[in-house]
Amino acid sequence: MAKGCFSFELKDGTEMDVFGQHHILQEREVQYEDGEWIEGDNACDIDDFYLTGYEKGYLFDPEDLQKLFDIDDYPDWDYNGVSYDWCGIEEEDDYETCWKKWDDYKSKFPRVTSKEQFEF
């Protein structure tokens, strides 16, 4: 999870910052070498979503910003902090368990439906 904001300009020239959290599910390569587990350098993002707030937020995509705020360009995302372990995945979980925990976590948030649900 990375806390940050989307920055964009409305058609009337008003500059907007919309705050949120970007949650990313990554697949990481781990190898057993010389008696210990070593994490590889390459992590692959396999799913993601944004929330308007922490555990009480609304789920959204950048495309929702384009639609709700009537903007043409894809908004710029700038993050200012990273946090881990929000969805409950444990290091020893297998692949299927990880996906189930991720989907369960993601599904608990309602989808954004209006501009008023965002923090400016």
Q: What is the mean pLDDT of each run of 10 residues along the chain (120 residues)?
A: 91 94 86 76 87 89 95 91 87 92 96 95
What is residue 32's predicted lDDT score, i.e. its pLDDT?
77
CA distances from 103 to 56, 88, 109 (A): 17, 11, 11
pLDDT at 109: 96
**Residue 85 confidence (pLDDT):** 80
**Residue 65 has what pLDDT?**
96
- The boundaries of the domain holding residue 53 are 2-117
Structurally, the chain folds into a number of domains equal to 1
pTM: 0.84
Strand order in the sheet with 76-82: 59-60, 36-51, 15-33, 2-9, 76-82
The burial class, CB within 10 Å (0-12 / 13-18 / 19+), for 68 is: middle
Report d(CA 71, CA 20) in Å as an integer.
18
Rg of the chain taking only CA atoms, in angstroms: 17
Contact 23, 1 (CB under 8 A): yes
- State residue 98's pLDDT score: 94
User: In this predicted structure, what is the pLDDT of residue 81?
Assistant: 80
Q: What is the pLDDT of residue 27?
A: 85
Q: What is the pLDDT of residue 31?
A: 74
92 bridge partner residues: none
